Structure 1
Amino acid sequence: MVRCLARVWARASRMYDRALPRGGRALSRGERENGGTMESRSVGKVTDDEVLRLAREVADRLLESAGDAAGKADLADGAPGIALALRYAAEVFDDSRYFTAGRIHLRRTAEASATAPLQAPGLYLGTAGVVWAVTEYARMEPRYLPTLATMTDRLARQTLAITLHTAAGSVASHDYDVIGGAAGWLAALLKAADVLGGRATDAVGQATDRLVDYLVELTRDDGGPLRWFCAPSHFPSIPGPDGEPTPLPGYVKNFPDGVYNLGFAHGPPGILAALSRPDIAEAPGSTADPVAGSAAGTTDSESGSADPAAARPHRVRQGVRALARTLDALRIDGLDYPAWANLLLPHPDSRRPDTGAAQVPARSAWCYGPPGVAASLLSASSACGDPEPTDLAVATLLGLERTPAEQQRVNSPTLCHGLAGLVTVYGRAAAQTGVPELFHMHERFLSRMCSFADEDHPYLFPDYDPWGKQEHSAGLLNGAAGVLLALLGAVSEAAAGWDELLFLTPRLPRADAPRADAPGGAGAETRQDRGMGET
């Protein structure tokens, strides 16, 4: 089990590493051709027909071959992610070939997991990701419901078997994060339970309640180190020479006293997003016992109830508000736009986040940086009915235009740390807020992403590592499947719902009209649902 988790975290650690600041990297071809920064790339506005043509081309290439991804059982870069992308391609293009191919990838997932069973429950690296993909197919074909029920019960039992620590210094980022931790597990369980209805087992309800209480506990601030502080003993690790987990050398060197992670993928924005789901922030849970040490059993001051289930929604909203305020307080001072670092050092005396230490803004991406934080704040605002997180989120997203190119570090068209992620973040933000300038920024990111299409690339859209080296991946987070989903979501309101995977919360109905007080003025153009069935 330890060796398996070490292998899983070797892959998760590469995701951490890709998002951290780098120096002296080579430039990608697009950067070399455009004066050294991707931000200087000048492209015209892409049309809907062009977006659909590119999406069709990517889907067709994934039909032909998914390369090494076809043999992997994880959502991040394996067959489940490709199955998910093809399922939405089938819906947008009304083409059963894509749905059939997606089903084949689900079967390959089952075969791969039979050969090498998924020992970890993670959303992007384990069982929860398979549950997510099967849930999407079960929504369209009831034949998948028995399989979904079995897999969801397995996921629930996996999470129930894991000890959940809540004391500061005993918590690792991968215990609670989106990629491999509790935030991702919770979102997958809730999504599956919604589709399963009465088929969901008691274990599913017990697991979801336990995870909600655990994540709420992590939002508590008792005046000492924050609960999600990661001590060196819990750093992400890779297999050492003896095969046992060894902390990443870069973390040990740069953060000898521990670290606070601020990214959506591995930090508290993911907790915020998971707790902002309407099925927990607005509805009571079951009567399962809360995680030991939580405040779930205390009398709720507003509801007056000692029942954990009855008190849970109020406590969730309290936790969401508290964590949103914490993120606001951890912004970098001295900038004329809101921004956050990748990681914060603990203060040498208090071990609380040291906001007075020198900080460098994180790259502009979903995984780390202002866009991902803003996405979580939008979800929090909806969950609590508070306007302040939305105002901060909008200011953050608009501030990207004033962020220097060297700080943005966007050198890829892909999802995790590239333009596909920005297209999706800004698409949801524009639809939710009605702010015209967010819509225009979404359009510009979409055009820039499309400009990376390369007919010579096996999947049309390459990925680039932090040094500008071109990589070939069919997968979801760093490959063609993620770009395909971003393309489809940009031109179809139905397909836009895929972004629940990225933000952990379902997409809200579109804002009725642009905000009159927003930059760009009232009455600015807003993207409507194309209803595109075919090109």
Structure 2
Amino acid sequence: MSETRVPAWQPVLSGDEAGVARRAVGDIAAALASGGASLDHDLADGAAGVALLFGYRARITGETGHAAMAAALLDRAADRVARAPTSPSLFHGFTGVAWAADHLRGLAGDADPACNDEIDAAVDAALRCPAGVPGFDLVTGLVGLGVYALERADRPLARRCVDRVVARLAATARRMPGGPAGSEGGPQHRPAAQAVWTAPDRPDRLDLGLAHGIPGVIALLARCASGSAEAAACSRATAATARDLLDGAVGWLLAQWRPGAGFPPRIVGGRPAPRRRAGWCYGDAAVALALIQASRVGEPAWRSAGLGIARASAARPACEAGVRDASLCHGAAALGLIYQRLYHATGDPLLRDAARRWVLRMLAYRSDRHELAPSAGFYLATREAPRAVPGLMNGAAGIGLVLLAATTEIAPDWDRALLLSGG
């Protein structure tokens, strides 16, 4: 299959729909600007993640007030980390704050590669300590540190961190003989020695989500492997190791796909768990995007498989997705953004239509209830009651960023931290 990609970022909303979305972004920014002092530091739900919204607003509008707000939020996040040291976790620790600061400086054309050299050293120290990184995943573990280091791969110590991450992934991979190349009627892949990873405290649990599981490893390895656009950031040995692991991980993943059922969120004790709500953290659309990213190492069959999975996911009725709110982690914003990325990666109009539908569905979740005003009427669905959340992954900032992506020609490259782009 020849590769088709949309060369420049294109918004999926226009006219009155785009106007409604832009007004919602303005309301979100106004609500968040008044509540920044109470935020914690982190990328997932704290000041670092909210800063991304204001940084992108500044890039799009040119308004210095948005840039000043982004800088103030990053300063607040850095101060909190300095006063109460945290783990190296990308989503909840100090690397997420550093990643956001680096990314926004680059977005503003004010890059300062040396500014996070001390963070690079801290990450390197954590990777040299066997107990320094508790797991393998994107949110708290090795994959997240790899994302941080790849963003700074022009710095020697950050490149060494990439090498260490891939080496640790190789050392902790469970190798299994290659089985069938896929289920009957499903995506096919040549037999190979398969590779999987498990959390240290749950060796019986294989996770198939982008946030905590093997698809996240695949998306990171795809950026490091021989043949990828970013392989130059790695040593030859690291790129070769990443490619070998990538072959094994993709082989295992494709063997888990089932016609009509897709991918389970996890396999526990050899038994697939029931499908849960679709989103960024779990779901076929995110897995499809990881496969398409991986195919860029020169594996067109992976692209074909990913596109087929993406199209099947997009055709599924919204009522089957289990989505209950507008959030970026596991709500409508996640699917709106992922389908935008899938459309730009493939040029498939079906995926563009899916992106538009989910962005509009995200807007439809907005409430005018007074008690939800701190997040401009967008809320997180919980078992107890709807909750107003300001942050990136579960709150208004992430929703605002997805709306900006849907209405402007500025690519949402902040989603590199979510492994939705890069390479």
- TM bin, normalised by shorter chain, reads 0.7 to 0.9
2:294 is aligned with 1:380: yes
The residue that corresponds to 2:249 in the other structure is 323
Secondary structure of the residue aligned to 1:368 is coil
Structure 2 contact 89–139 (Cα < 8 Å) conserved: yes
Deviations 1:151-187 (A, max 9, x none): 333333333334489xxxxxxxx51101001111011
Distance in structure 1 (CA, Å) of the matches to 2:242 and 2:249: 11
2:420 is aligned with 1:474: no
Structure 1 contact 121–159 (Cα < 8 Å) conserved: no
2:65 is aligned with 1:97: yes
Structure 1 contact 463–470 (Cα < 8 Å) conserved: yes
Distance in structure 1 (CA, Å) of the matches to 2:19 and 2:314: 27
The residue that corresponds to 1:147 in the other structure is 115
2:308 is aligned with 1:340: no
Structure 1 contact 371–425 (Cα < 8 Å) conserved: yes
Structure 2 contact 149–158 (Cα < 8 Å) conserved: yes
Structure 2 contact 336–358 (Cα < 8 Å) conserved: yes
| Structure 1 residue 399: Cα displacement | 2.0
| Structure 1 residue 454: Cα displacement | 2.9
Distance in structure 2 (CA, Å) of the matches to 1:370 and 1:379: 14
Structure 1 contact 209–285 (Cα < 8 Å) conserved: no
| Structure 1 residue 266: Cα displacement | 0.5
Given the superposition, is the C-alpha separation of residues 48 and 415 from structure 1 closer, same or farther in structure 2, using an over 3 Å criterion? Answer: same
Given the superposition, is the C-alpha separation of residues 394 and 218 from structure 1 closer, same or farther in structure 2, using an over 3 Å criterion? Answer: farther
Q: 2:322 aligns with which of 401, 406, 409?
A: 409
The residue that corresponds to 1:132 in the other structure is 99
Deviations 1:244-284 (A, max 9, x none): xxxxxxxxxxxxx8311111110001100111116874535
| Structure 1 residue 113: Cα displacement | 1.2
The residue type paired with residue 396 of structure 1 is I
Aligned-residue identity in percent: 26
Distance in structure 2 (CA, Å) of the matches to 1:404 and 1:52: 27
Q: 2:124 aligns with which of 153, 156, 159?
A: 156
Stretches of structure 2 lacking an aligned partner (at least 5 in a row): 1-13, 178-192
Distance in structure 2 (CA, Å) of the matches to 1:153 and 1:390: 37
State how 1:197-212 maps to structure 2 within 5 Å.
197=154, 200=155, 202-212=156-166
The residue that corresponds to 1:83 in the other structure is 51
2:279 is aligned with 1:311: no
Deviates more, 1:450-459 or 1:137-146: 137-146
| Structure 1 residue 431: Cα displacement | 0.6
The residue that corresponds to 2:185 in the other structure is none
| Structure 1 residue 217: Cα displacement | 4.7
| Structure 1 residue 471: Cα displacement | 0.6
| Structure 1 residue 97: Cα displacement | 0.8
The residue that corresponds to 1:57 in the other structure is 27
Q: 2:223 aligns with which of 277, 281, 285?
A: 277
Given the superposition, is the C-alpha separation of residues 162 and 89 from structure 1 closer, same or farther in structure 2, using an over 3 Å criterion? Answer: farther
Q: 1:190 aligns with which of 146, 150, 163?
A: 150
Structure 1 contact 127–155 (Cα < 8 Å) conserved: no
The residue that corresponds to 2:186 in the other structure is none
Distance in structure 1 (CA, Å) of the matches to 2:160 and 2:292: 28
Deviations 1:40-87 (A, max 9, x none): xxxx99622222222122122222223632xx1111111100111110
The residue that corresponds to 1:3 in the other structure is none
Deviates more, 1:44-53 or 1:392-401: 44-53
The residue that corresponds to 1:239 in the other structure is none
The residue that corresponds to 1:465 in the other structure is 381
Given the superposition, is the C-alpha separation of residues 467 and 404 from structure 1 closer, same or farther in structure 2, using an over 3 Å criterion? Answer: farther
| Structure 1 residue 489: Cα displacement | 1.5
Secondary structure of the residue aligned to 1:221 is strand
Distance in structure 2 (CA, Å) of the matches to 1:175 and 1:340: 22
State how 1:2-41 maps to structure 2 within 5 Å.
none
Structure 1 contact 489–497 (Cα < 8 Å) conserved: no
The residue type paired with residue 154 of structure 1 is A
Given the superposition, is the C-alpha separation of residues 79 and 392 from structure 1 closer, same or farther in structure 2, using an over 3 Å criterion? Answer: same
The residue that corresponds to 2:311 in the other structure is 398
Secondary structure of the residue aligned to 2:152 is helix
2:345 is aligned with 1:432: yes
Distance in structure 1 (CA, Å) of the matches to 2:23 and 2:170: 44
Structure 2 contact 195–245 (Cα < 8 Å) conserved: no
Deviations 1:365-419 (A, max 9, x none): 110121221121121112x222222222222222235546564210110100001
The RMSD of aligned alpha carbons is 2.7
Secondary structure of the residue aligned to 1:260 is strand
The residue type paired with residue 479 of structure 1 is G
The residue that corresponds to 1:176 in the other structure is 136
Distance in structure 2 (CA, Å) of the matches to 1:97 and 1:435: 38
The residue that corresponds to 1:449 in the other structure is 362
Deviations 1:287-337 (A, max 9, x none): xxxxxxxxxxxxxxxxxxxxxx33332332232222112111012x3x43x
The residue that corresponds to 2:331 in the other structure is 418
| Structure 1 residue 128: Cα displacement | 1.6
Given the superposition, is the C-alpha separation of residues 360 and 279 from structure 1 closer, same or farther in structure 2, using an over 3 Å criterion? Answer: closer
Distance in structure 2 (CA, Å) of the matches to 1:314 and 1:146: 28
Distance in structure 1 (CA, Å) of the matches to 2:233 and 2:51: 31
Deviations 1:452-507 (A, max 9, x none): 2234432224233343721111111100111111111122332422221222642x
Distance in structure 2 (CA, Å) of the matches to 1:358 and 1:88: 40
Secondary structure of the residue aligned to 2:412 is helix
Structure 1 contact 273–380 (Cα < 8 Å) conserved: yes
- Report the TM-score when normalising by structure 2: 0.83
2:397 is aligned with 1:485: no
Structure 1 contact 51–450 (Cα < 8 Å) conserved: yes
Structure 1 contact 187–504 (Cα < 8 Å) conserved: no
Secondary structure of the residue aligned to 1:458 is helix
| Structure 1 residue 437: Cα displacement | 0.3
Distance in structure 2 (CA, Å) of the matches to 1:130 and 1:442: 29
Greater than 6 Å deviation, 4+ residue runs? none
Given the superposition, is the C-alpha separation of residues 381 and 358 from structure 1 closer, same or farther in structure 2, using an over 3 Å criterion? Answer: closer
Deviations 1:426-447 (A, max 9, x none): 0000011001100001011111
Q: 2:410 aligns with which of 494, 500, 506?
A: 494
| Structure 1 residue 104: Cα displacement | 0.5
Stretches of structure 1 lacking an aligned partner (at least 5 in a row): 1-43, 166-173, 236-256, 287-308, 347-353, 509-535
